[in-house]
A and B are shown apart, each in its own frame.
Chain A
Amino acid sequence: MQILQYVINGIALGSVYALISTGFSLIFNVLKFSNFSHGALMTFSAFTGYFVAAANGWGLVPTILAAAATGSLVALAGEFVAFRRILIRNTSPIYFFVSSITLGTLFEGIVVLQVGANFYNYPRFFGKPLKLAGLVISQSDIIIFCISAFVLVVLALVIQKTRLGRALRSVSFDRDTASLMGIDVTRSIQFAFIISGALAGLAGVFLGINYTLYPTLGSLVVKGFIASVIGGLGSLPGAVIGAMLLGIVETTLISTIGSGYAPVFTFLIMLVFLLVRPRGIAGSNIQEKA
């Protein structure tokens, strides 16, 4: 029974991590770089969601929508400010990296400037936890899991079945050839940033509900990174599977050895995993390509 409880809590936690790692992997897939501004974007949108909707007494859904919309718009603006020129000039991917770190510092700097080092709490959106045959399941976990699963399924359908998704896949496969085939590469990349930003906003709100809102909330993005490394960098299904595994491992570790040491052990697990199977679960390109 205890194990089942860990698995349930782990999946609830993992579904939030899945949102983070999917948003991160999407950009990695398309532009082949690690977007380090993702964490700060989560913080930024979660705070905007708080001030626009939750602080005015609006419910969960308007908060989520506000945060997701902010995430999309800010990601779009970030793409224009930080990545567009690098993309056009086709210089070394190193610059994407520095740009994304810088963008992350910028977002976090703005948040700190606006809210200081204060902590904020989302209002209680949910009632008492449900008790079911010896298991305790909180309502927030159920709703977070359902929304995340719904969003991820919709995303998978969009990427697999629609014209936009097909364009995105071809752009991530080979930008130049896709462009020759008449695909608007810039628009596809913008589309990827919009989705990734919306996922960041959603994840930010859920993290804010699970913990509290604070300016360095974005550092939890490292869980998403670990999940995508375990799942295989750049693979979307891998990102989801990795996130679920990480969630379950982490809840188990937290209840057995305490939350203090949990990050140490998750890191060690990732290191061992990289030594044994560097491709990750789903397998992805691990070598630098020309």
Chain B
Amino acid sequence: MTLYTHILTQILISVVSVAGVFVLTGMTGMFSLGQAAFMAIGAYTSGILVTKLSAPIYLAWPAGVVLAVAVGFIVGLPTVRLRRDYISLVTLGFGEAITALLNRTTALTGGASGLTGIPKVTTLWSALVSAVLVITLISLFKNSKYGRQCIAVRSDELAAKSMGINVPKVKMIAFLISVAVTAYGGCLYAFYTAYVDPSLFGWKKSAEWVIMVFFGGVNSLTGSVLSTFVLSGLPEVLRFLQNYRAIIYAVLVLLIINFKPAGLLGEWELTPRNLRRIIARGRRVQQPKGVN
């Protein structure tokens, strides 16, 4: 039972981060390959504040998120005005820089051997509450003015611009929201595993998140959450496939991109209306033929 609790908690923490990536990649069409580095900033800042300065958690976590957002603003500033390739290239370089920095500042971060002694605060329930909260906020954002602008920017940047959308601003908002959410995921993670080291936050992690978002459906938050459960739950259940994990991911995603480019769920969302529709359809199927 504890094993399942452990797996479920980790998946829920991933859900938080993937939801952040969804805002950036799924909605706005930008790719960050340094997203895990923002998670690292959240995790390390809050961890260091609590372990070294014995700051209370309700101050340390917001501090981690705020610092990540501030750094994200600096990284985003030159890139949001340029074509989307730049943000992925720049964030990739950013991820390498952060890893180097964490490895180097041994006195503060513990270097390559990692930061230890973080109190274990996150439980299954707090992870669940966080995930639900983040998903709710992001679905609200998706349906807000800015969310719709994000989708417009993704579909056609030039057309969005000519409709009067401030493209750099929208891109920056999406980027900062995703940074904040991912950094929060980092806090959850650090205070769950009680230990973080720089190798956890490489570009592979960021790439994995992008893949999860695409696997689930480009414009479907439901799909992203679902695919996080499937893709990060599957290797845990099938332990013997651990070594093949990366390859299975890759093959699955290549199949999806080649044959169902919109992803598992495409644009479909689990809204109350869609839910009612499914239930209604289910009833219709259950009714015996010839009654109507």
B-side interface size class:
35 or more
Asked whether A260 is an interface residue with its Cβ less than 8 Å from the other chain, the reply is yes
Q: What is the chain A residue whose CB lies nearest that of B250?
A: A106
Which chain A positions have C-beta within 8 A of B81? Answer: 278
In the complex, B118 has a CB within 8 A of chain A = no
Cα-based distance from A267 to B148 in the complex (angstroms): 33
Give chain B residues whose Cβ lies under 8 Å from the Cβ of A99. Answer: 254, 257
Residue numbers in B under 8 Å from A108 (CB-CB): 204, 246
A106–B93 CB distance below 8 A: no
A103 engages B90 (CB within 8 Å): no
A219 touches B96 (CB 8 A): yes
- Chain A's closest residue to B263 (CB) is A98
Stretch from A10-18, A60-68, A87-95, A177-185 at the B interface: A87-95
**Could you tell me the distance in whole angstroms from the C-beta of A276 to the nearest C-beta in chain B?**
9
CB pair B250 A102 closer than 8 Å: yes
A271 within 8 A of B: yes
In angstroms, how far is the closest chain B Cβ from the Cβ of A227?
A: 11
Decide if A263 touches B246 in the complex (CB within 8 Å): no
Compute how far the CA of A64 lies from the CA of B292 in the bound complex, rounded to whole angstroms: 75
With a cutoff of 8 Å between Cβ atoms, the chain B residues found around residue A91 in the complex are: 261
Binds A, one of B10-18, B99-107, B172-180, B181-189: B99-107
Q: How far is the CA of A267 from the CA of B91 in the complex (A)?
A: 10
Which stretch of A43-51, A155-163, A282-290 is in the interface?
A282-290
Stretch from A28-36, A145-153, A188-196, A203-211 at the B interface:
A28-36
For the complex, what is the distance from the CA of A271 to the CA of B245, rounded to whole Å?
35
Residue of A nearest to B153 (CB): A288
Does B89 reach chain A (CB closer than 8 Å)? yes
B117 close to A (CB within 8 Å): no
| Chain A interface, >50% SS class | helix
Say which residue of A105, A267, A287 sits within 8 Å of B96 (CB atoms). Answer: A267
Indicate whether A225 reaches chain B with its CB closer than 8 angstroms.
yes
Stretch at the interface among B40-48, B58-66, B207-215, B228-236: B207-215
Give the chain B neighbours of A86 by CB distance below 8 A.
257-258, 261
A270 at the interface (CB under 8 A from B): yes
Which residues from A are CB-within-8-Å of B238? none
Q: How far apart are B161's CB and chain A's nearest CB, in angstroms?
A: 9
A42 within 8 A of B: no
User: Are the C-beta atoms of A270 and B93 separated by less than 8 Å?
Assistant: yes
Least Cβ–Cβ distance between A80 and chain B, in angstroms: 11
Please name the residue on chain B nearest to A274 by beta carbon: B78
A-B contact pairs, 17 of them (CB 8 A): A81-B254, A86-B257, A94-B154, A95-B257, A97-B88, A98-B253, A102-B253, A103-B250, A228-B89, A233-B85, A260-B104, A261-B100, A262-B100, A266-B97, A267-B94, A274-B78, A274-B90
B interface, CB within 8 angstroms of A: 29, 31, 33, 74-75, 77-79, 81-86, 88-90, 92-94, 96-97, 99-101, 103-104, 154, 156-159, 202-204, 207-208, 210-211, 214, 218, 243-247, 249-251, 253-254, 257-258, 261
Supply 6 further A-B pairs (C-beta < 8 A) apart from A101-B33, A233-B85, A270-B93: A85-B258, A86-B261, A103-B254, A260-B100, A263-B93, A264-B104
